[in-house]
Amino acid sequence: MVSRCLQDVDDLEPEEIQALFAQAKAFKEILNRPIRKVPTLRGKGVLLFFAEPSTRTRASFETAAKILSADVTSITSSTSSLLKGESLADTFLTLSRLPFDLVVVRHPFEGMPGLVFKWFGKTVINGGDGCHAHPTQALLDAFTAQEKLGSLNGITVTYVGDLSHSRVFRSGTRLFQKLGARVAACAPPYFVPLGFQEAFPDVGLFRDVHEALRKSDTLIVLRVQKEREAPFYSEREYERLYGIDGEKLTRAKKGMVVMHPGPVVRGYELKREVLENEKTLILDQVENGVAVRMALLYMFLTGENRLEQ
Ligand code: CP
């Protein structure tokens, strides 16, 4: 089987994305069985290497691999021999001689999954690299929007918030556009990256959140990433202008859905009444994330695109 590196959504062919979604839909049924276990990946070794905090991505990949009966090993940078001075290259050279077939890597440095692929020599999936890409988040977001809205063709997907630091926005934009959606954004100037128009010529900017709400079919709200280099701004003003509350939600286009990759800063970018609103799909995204990652592990570890029930 050929080793692959999923750095971003462009590493998947359009027909692979559709096959992946069909497979995820089939796998989703397994999550509702009394015994959530199938032997599909028995004997395969999956390594999770996380050098940044994560709840969803890590737990989701681990759960996905275990449901498919793969053997899972988890390493974090803070408990590895990196702390004793070993380089990341030597760490992955070492790990390459253990019986792993695939690694999921999260790292703060952009492009790190590509380097890991060289050192490790086996399949690599990017679980989020700095501000660059988060392909599996994009896949589960598109899968969830398609599941809810029926089709992505011609819909408007709008990202609201900290675009500068968002790997979710970068990967999601590429994927939603590939699947026929229009992508727009809405953010204060201090969260719009330099060279935005050149980098994203097909992404329109809404003047304000009210316009975004009126014209969008899917609103993807982004967390302000205070752990990364932050601009100087008024949090109170941001919350007033860009935080989504029940009053703003009343102006939304009919049928619009709200998503958020998580983690959510409750009460800041989304108010309680929005989190509890039926338009909000955040927990569906989490659930779908397991099915989408099961499908991706299946595709990458077996080389199969045909449906497995
Ligand atoms: N959406 C996402 O990547 O969440 P975690 O940081 O919890 O993995």
Locate the ligand 1 atom nearest the alpha carbon of residue 262 and give its number: 1
Query: Which residue's CA is the closest to the ligand 1 atom numbered 6?
Result: 54
Locate the ligand 1 atom nearest the alpha carbon of residue 261 and give its number: 1
Q: What is the C-alpha to C-alpha distance for residues 299 and 290, in angstroms, rounded to an integer?
A: 14
Under a CB-based contact definition with an 8 Å cutoff, are residues 209 and 160 in contact? yes
Ligand 1 pocket, 113 CB below 6 A? no
Under a CB-based contact definition with an 8 Å cutoff, are residues 220 and 172 in contact? yes
pLDDT of residue 292 exceeding 80, the answer is yes
The C-alpha angle with vertex 40 and arms to 301 and 10, in degrees rounded to 5, equals 35
Q: For 161-184, how does the pLDDT look when each residue is reduced to its tens digit (9 = 90+)?
A: 999 999 999 999 999 999 999 999
How far does the centroid of ligand 1 lie from the alpha carbon of residue 286, in Å? 10
Strand 102-107 versus strand 5-6 pairing type = unpaired
The C-alpha angle with vertex 304 and arms to 33 and 300, in degrees rounded to 5, equals 85
According to DSSP, residue 150 is labeled S
According to DSSP, residue 270 is labeled B
Model pTM above 0.85: yes
Locate the ligand 1 atom nearest the alpha carbon of residue 55 and give its number: 7
Higher pLDDT, residue 207 or 276:
276
How far does the centroid of ligand 1 lie from the alpha carbon of residue 50, in Å? 11
Element of type H or E holding 220: strand 218-221
Q: For 98-127, how does the pLDDT look when each residue is reduced to its tens digit (9 = 90+)?
A: 999 999 999 999 999 999 999 999 999 999
Closest CA to 57 of 120, 111, 138, 145: 138
Residue 168 Cα distances to 68, 83, 114, 172, 254, angstroms: 26, 29, 18, 6, 25
